[in-house]
Amino acid sequence: MTSPAPLQVTPAGLRELAQRCEDLAAQVAPILPAVSAPGWQASAAAVSTANAGGGKAAAAMRARMMSSASALYTAAHDYEAMDHDSATALAGVPPGGAGFTPLVPRGSGADGGAASGIGTPR
């Protein structure tokens, strides 16, 4: 089995997907007007019930797609803000800084010999 391609997320990609959600939400059929007919026509009552159910489903789909679009726009904004904050933090690090400071001095023996390449005596 091959590994899936790495996920590449960009603010532009998130905004593009959010726009697609908005476009699809706009294409969901609007709620149809209620059908008025005499009560003795069972088919008219069935159509009216179906229209009401379809309208509720359409409204729920539109709301969900718009909610997803809003979440994607927020994610794009947060992603850019995190990148900006990280870049600002990295810009504050002096070049050629001290680097990694080990907790145990190399070759001291306190690390079981891992630093100097020698095993611990038995």
Phi-psi region of 11 (alpha: psi -120 to 50; beta: other; left: phi over 0): alpha
pTM of the full predicted structure? Answer: 0.62
Domains and CATH numbers, the chain: 11-90 (1.10.287)
CA angle 108, 114, 120 (to 5 degrees): 75
| pLDDT above 60 for 114 | no
pLDDT in tens, 62-110: 999 999 999 999 999 999 999 999 999 988 877 766 666 666 666 655 5
